[in-house]
Structure 1
Amino acid sequence: MATMKDVAKLAGVSTSTVSHVMNLTRFVSEDIAKRVQDAARELNYSGPSAVARSLKTCRTNTIGMLVTTSTNPFYAEVVRGVEQACYQQGYNLILCNTEGDVQRLKRSLSTLVERRVDGLIMMCAMLEGEDAALYERLKKLPVVVMDWGEADFPCDRIQGHSRKGGQLATQYLLDKGHRHIGCITGPRNRQQADLRYQGFADAMTDAGLTINPDWMIESNFESDGGKAAFASLFANVEHDKSRLPSALFVCNDMMAIGVLHAAQNAGIKVPQELSIIGYDDIHLARYMNPALTTIHQSKGKLGAEAVNALLARLQDPTLAPQFMDIEPSVVERDSVQILK
């Protein structure tokens, strides 16, 4: 039967490197890891089982992630960042979609705890009231809440700086000469949606401009919500193009895509008759017609910082709860007209 020494000799590495690759206890370059894995396969060496390792170390080298399923590619891009960071750190990821359903959230939480994940990343709505007692089971488990809002239990939080992003988007429109600016928000009971609106209001107030209530629409962060929001906006101005704002800050890219589609169907040219700036800088935004000007927040960095915060707490559980904002920036494309 092949031993670890046999694998090390065939792969041309030390036995400690073989151990790190097999046990996922330290990052090893992809090239070396492949050599070790190829040698192990050739020699039919499987190494210690994951169960045996976890019993010995009290670690499973597995992170659980709860995310609300959505048609918004933003979530998929963040999950990709988390997966990449886990891979680089030698961790596995178990992903659970909650579908926005409380029972699925509770069941997924229980499953992840039973599978003895080392930590948990949450990017979904939180339990409330009596249901929140389930979080008692998480007291000894490191938890990071991503880009969602407040939590009623000790945890680290990583999120985009939404208020600053809303201010940047609106200021960009102001700098391009727009003074008649509307805003389509996500659900205002969601912290990120409300903060983006507050950033919009900050910039309008600083510019000495009044917010027109007919140009303010609350929607659902999905493309169909953007389409419905534009229909409401157009109805508010009695389908008179001349009474529309010259520009809209739409608080995420998926709604902005819905707005763009609805406006064009209504015969309104973007950006000549209506300028649009979105938020998130999803991959699809650059391929719209016109390409969407938007606020960039690094999904890869969101994911990486969440994993790093979790691993830091695993190394030192006494750390004070961390809070990190990911700085936003404007990505200029073709959906905003410069007014003279």
Structure 2
Amino acid sequence: MATMKDIAKLAGVSTSTVSHVINKTRFVSDEIADRVNRAAKELNYTPSALARSLKMNRTRTFGMLVTTSTNPFFGEVVKGVERSCFHKGYNLILCNTEGDDQRMQSSINTLLERRVDGLILMCPTLAGEHIDAFDRFPDVPVVVMDWGAMHFTCDKIQDNSLLGGYLATQHLIQSGHTQIACVTGPLKRNQAQMRYEGYQQAMQEAGLEMNPAWVVESNFESDGGYDAFQRLYAQKTLPSAVFVCNDMMAMGLINAATGRGIQIPQQLSVIGYDDIYIAKYMTPSLTTIHQPKYRLGTAAVEALLNRLENQPDEPQVVHLEPELVIRDSVREYHAGS
């Protein structure tokens, strides 16, 4: 394998000059730079990423931890992270925790021991956890998608889930619905709790009664939405509309309702949350709350770079706002119609 010394010998320059040309650390005349580059090409020289990272004390690599889920929401966020890393000249190491706490701890240790420049965490189980590895690597910046209170220093990318839940329920109310159910995610998770509180706020402001039998806690997966509908169907009467706290559960709920002969939206209006890519291709296309998933990913990378380059004193919080996307799964319902 060719070295800088070999290039220097072939180009007739010093090793330090070769280093300056390769690493672009000092101005070198075009004529000498051209000789060095031609010699490097002739010798098939490849710079050592390891050697460069040791010299610069940077690996130009970020680590990302995600929890296994069938929800394409996660994949769309990862896409934003990966593409942003590429444009910024960084590599990305992606680890999947499979929902296992031990695997999560092990993956964090592995990434930190590989000297990643920063970590992006998308693991709901991290809320309230103490991560020993962060005590050993206090200088590695960490960005967390907002899952609640963290027992370690980190920046946060925060979706305004309370506003999103409010907007979803408000749209159903403005469409003429008064009997509105809510299928929540696991309420121990911050985002599920906030979306539910948004539902409660909109209902209270409109002076509408919340039927406890129409509030169903589920698991953020399609089977959870399917099961939630069966529980609603078992009640004496169905609501006219339901706010489902993510699109995956909404898909499961619509499937279960259709199986029972319930027409969407003629007999039951449904609004979801996330605006995953396939939401607009469902039948009927799903009215939902858009979460800027790609922007979530790019914002996480930008937060890490800001931490590395500017070293702000206090943890930073980046707020991203949800938006209502109106499609075909909500009926304009009015008394007598």
Is the pair's TM-score, using the shorter chain for normalization, greater than 0.5? Answer: yes
If the length of structure 1 is used for normalisation, what is the TM-score? 0.85
**Corresponding position of 1:30:** none
Counterpart Cα distance in 2 of 1:67 and 1:326:
20
- Judged with a 3 Å threshold, the aligned counterparts in structure 2 of structure 1 residues 116 and 217 are, in CA distance, closer, same or farther, namely same
Identity %: 56
Give the SS at the match of 2:220. Answer: coil
Alignment correspondent of 1:196:
195
Counterpart residue number, 1:326: 320
Q: Give the Cα separation in 2 of the matches to 1:76 and 1:128.
A: 21
Say whether the 8 Å CA contact 2:127–2:149 is kept in structure 1.
no
Tell me the CA shift for residue 127 of structure 1.
Answer: 4.7
TM-superposition CA deviations, 1:301-328 (whole Å, max 9, x none): 1001110000000112243211122100
Q: Using structure 2 for the length normalisation, give the TM-score.
A: 0.86
Superposition pairs of residues 129-144 of structure 1, within 5 angstroms:
132-144=131-143
Q: 2:310 aligns with which of 302, 305, 316?
A: 316
Q: Does structure 1 retain, via aligned residues, the 8 Å contact 2:62–2:90?
A: yes
Change in 2 beyond 3 A, CA 1:115/1:247: same
Which residue among 272, 283, 293 is the counterpart of 2:287?
Answer: 293
User: Which deviates more from structure 2 when the two are superposed, residues 269-278 or residues 119-128?
Assistant: 119-128
4+ long deviations beyond 4 Å: 1-4, 15-20, 39-44, 126-131
Cα separation, partners in 2 of 1:56 and 1:152, compared to 1, 3 Å: same
Aligned: 1:222 with 2:221: yes
Equivalent-residue separation in structure 1 for 2:127 and 2:176 (angstroms): 45
Query: Quick one: structure 1 residues 315 and 289, their matched pair in 2 at CA, closer, same or farther if it must change by over 3 Å?
Result: same
1:2-46: CA deviation from partner (whole Å, max 9, x where unpaired): 969x9xxxxxxxx989747xx9xxxxxxxxxxxxxxx99975644
Q: C-alpha distance in 2, partners of 1:258/1:66? A: 27
Structure 2 unaligned spans of 5+ = 11-18, 26-37
Alignment correspondent of 1:74:
73
> Superposition pairs for residues 145-164 of structure 1, below 5 Å?
145-164=144-163
Number of aligned residues: 309
Question: Measured at CA, do residues 245 and 44 of structure 1 come closer, stay the same or move farther in structure 2, by a change above 3 Å?
Answer: farther
Q: Which residue identity lines up with residue 65 of structure 1 in the other structure? A: M
Q: Which has the larger radius of gyration?
A: 2
Q: What CA RMSD, in Å, does the superposition of the two structures yield over aligned residues? A: 2.4
- Counterpart of 1:153, as a letter, is F
Q: Which stretch of the first structure deviates more once superposed, 123-132 or 55-64?
A: 123-132
Tell me the equivalent position of 1:336.
Answer: 330
The answer to whether the 8 Å contact 2:222/2:248 transfers is yes
Structure 2 Cα separation of the partners of residues 339 and 55 of structure 1: 65
User: Contact 1:3–1:45 at 8 Å: present in 2 too?
Assistant: no
